[in-house]
Amino acid sequence: MVHRYAASLRPGYDGPVRNLRDVPRLGAVARFVDVHPDNPQPRLIKQVADAVRDDDALIAYPTDSGYALGTRMGNREGRERILTIRDLDDKHHFTLMCSDFAQLGQFAQISNSVFRAVRAATPGPYTFILPATGEVPRRLLHPKKRTVGVRIPDHAVCQALLTELGEPLVTSSLILPGESEPRALGWEIKEELDHAVDVVVDAGETLAEPTTVVDWSEGFPEIVRLGAGDVSRFEE
């Protein structure tokens, strides 16, 4: 049976994809990792981080604004798989999920005034679009503006994973074609995307609302998407 989220793969794959079962992946079905939402088990977090780092795994994982898809920055195929699952084109603005400001500063250029505003809103359910540094691969940049989305999550499992990984995750909200909100239940993702992702990290139900996206690339805040984060702090 053809999966109802079927989509064509982007250039770079050997052949056409008729459904999500054909997306290249590590195994026959996704590994399901059940972790505590507030005190994630270090052993399990390390196993997920090792899969991302060593095996180029594509994971579904919980954040403070729903579940997301994530992979390491150097995984070209992982980026294509995210586009395929979400049925997006190459113009999609990916986000770098960072553990803290020290890491964020390696990949985004941020002035003192913007830094103060962004720091006051993080960690939290915000994505900030900023000019990228030379550390960001070209394929992750906005093709014209040379910007990148960055964010620091307020979620224990997500933070533990980023700390163990030691680098940002290239990420995108797990909003499937035809839907407007991110998935909020790990077991539901396991059922629907079992043959499309490599690991599902389940930490219970999350908020089913995407991040608020704020574009600071011109030095002032432009609200691109209303979401879970309060925008009143950016209004003059």
The model's pTM is: 0.85
For residue 9, the model assigns a pLDDT of 32
The residue among 8 and 126 whose pLDDT is bigger is 126
In-domain check, residue 1? no
Query: What gap in Å lies between CA 200 and CA 190, rounded to an integer?
Result: 6
pLDDT > 90: percent of the chain: 73
The residue among 106 and 92 whose pLDDT is bigger is 106
Strand partners, 222: 215
Query: What gap in Å lies between CA 104 and CA 160, rounded to an integer?
Result: 16
For residue 131, the model assigns a pLDDT of 94
Asked whether residue 175 carries a pLDDT value surpassing 50, the answer given is: yes
In-domain check, residue 187? yes
Query: Strands 169-173 and 147-151, how do they pair?
Result: unpaired
DSSP secondary structure string for all residues of the chain: ---TT--PPPBTBSS--SSGGGS--SSSS-EEEE--SSS--HHHHHHHHHHHHHH---EEEEEBTEEEEEEETT-HHHHHHHHHHHT--TT---EEE-SSHHHHHHHB---HHHHHHHHHT-SSSEEEEEEB-TTS-GGGS-TTT-EEEEE----HHHHHHHHHHTSPEEEEE---TT-SS----HHHHHHHSTTT-SEEEE-S-----PPEEEE-TTSS-EEEE--SS--GGG--
Query: What gap in Å lies between CA 223 and CA 11, rounded to an integer?
Result: 32
CA atoms within 13 A of residue 145's CA, in its CB half-sphere: 15
In-domain check, residue 195? yes
As for how many domains the chain has, the answer is 1
In-domain check, residue 171? yes
Nearest to 149 by CA among 207, 91, 196: 91
Asked whether residue 22 carries a pLDDT value surpassing 70, the answer given is: no
In-domain check, residue 130? yes
- What CATH number is given to the structural domain containing 201? 3.90.870.10
Q: Average pLDDT in the 99-113 region?
A: 92
Which range of residues forms the domain containing residue 88? Answer: 20-230
